[in-house]
Structure 1
Amino acid sequence: MIRLAANLSMLFQEHAFLDRFAAAADAGFTGVEYLFPYVHSPEALRTALNENGVEQVLFNLPPGDWAAGERGLASLPGREAEFRDAVIEGLRYAAQLDCSRVHAMAGLLPEDADARTQAEAREAHHATYLANLRFAAGEAAKAGRTLLIEPINTRDMPGYFLSRQDQAVAVLEAVGANNLRLQFDLYHCQIMEGDLIRHLERLLPHIGHVQIAGVPERHEPDIGEVHYPAVLERLAALDYRGWVGCEYRPAADTRDGLGWGRDYGLQP
């Protein structure tokens, strides 16, 4: 069975953030995710979840200075102490929101480096990434949470350290933590690699969360080059038990664009 979660950072922007929980529930969503919870108190978010009967399924750990262009801390040499603080803060919110999954964004490689410097930077980022993920997975395990990593396409996010599925699987295997899983975003994978159904079949044992969006414009899943009915049918046949996050930018009003989700319980 496909269970859809509304990404409240992208959907229902017709409403103030805390009102989006009600809008999502009214449209038939039973789970919600978003990028970051930290501008709101966990008490306010917990109230929004409880009042609307939806489950918090995912959010990201603090990513550094997002407004300044930072996109995560997990692979950044010299920022280990800040990353550890981010893990503790993210898990504090996860406990209060009863959220089982948190995503650690990897961060960006340095810009404008020559090939040699870039290779050296990648090695340093890789070593830092593994060490930080071991720490984060350990803390998450103590808290009964799953830690996720996500390959993000380098068209939308140039320089992002983690961009391909095989790279992510190698990291999972190197860290070796049972609660470290793959956040498989079909939009990012289609842009970087394609062959979505075969990727799902091969990677299912590693997957802890799935996200969808139309390609190439990141609008509704029924817009663009990916035939999501076939992909989601195969995902259900594989007996995937997790959530599917709707992390897309509506082409117009959110509710008007939900017709694609009728077969999955949405109410346009």
Structure 2
Amino acid sequence: MSTVRKVGIVGWGAIGRVVGAALAEGRVGGAELVCVVDNRPLGEAAPARQATFEEALETCDLIVEAAGQGVVREWGERVLESGTDLLIASTGALTDEDLAKRLLAAGPGRVYFTSGAVGGLDLLQAARSLGPLDEVRLTTTKLPSTLEQPWMDEDLLARIRSATGPVVVMSGTAREVPVKFPKSTNVAASVALAVGDLDTVRVQVVADPAAHRTRHLIEASGAHGAYRFEVAHLPDPGNPATSQVVPYAVLRSLAALAGRTGQIL
């Protein structure tokens, strides 16, 4: 008889609510929602009790991070050292190589990452095993309002807000860009994790007032082949910085961790 995974969710926002509802309704076989960790009141409709982080570590064997990169930095190691497994949605935190090394070295809990809003990562990992990829480019295009950041100067903000067509907001590596856009560019970190090199992945962030769908274009090439993937997602209506598909990617990862069979891994 298989063991039911006891799940705690950190973050009761666009991702956490969808994941929590699915768990509470029994739509992920082998996984049970035990509690939710969030600093804000959950409301009467919440399907599980609100708990502190410490309480979650005492009662859960798997924590789902759905609250942002800061949670990974502050709590990631403590979760793993407690013996609890950790599923990370905010992969952008892993562009901090020191943090990534500490998480991978911590235990006895295990750390997992979800693919989030992009596909093709398994193929990039397979291609990488044949040899290094010479060039990897990611172009992310989003609505201007989702890309505004506190560090931007008035000139850049004015260009974004007055844009009538695509505007390049930032170009850099997968090491540099997710730090500047902590809620909008987790895909860059996910691609870099698949490729195995933060500096190989060149990222361009584009603001486009016509981007009613969030687009991610991945182009990669090496001695053994060339690859191109493009996805276009509807943004979550409650949080346009997040694509609607992200919580369902988390649920798919949860299903795999809970031991559901008969799916492509």
More helix by share: 1
- Structure 1 or 2: more strand by fraction: 2
Give the TM-score taking structure 1 as reference length.
Answer: 0.33
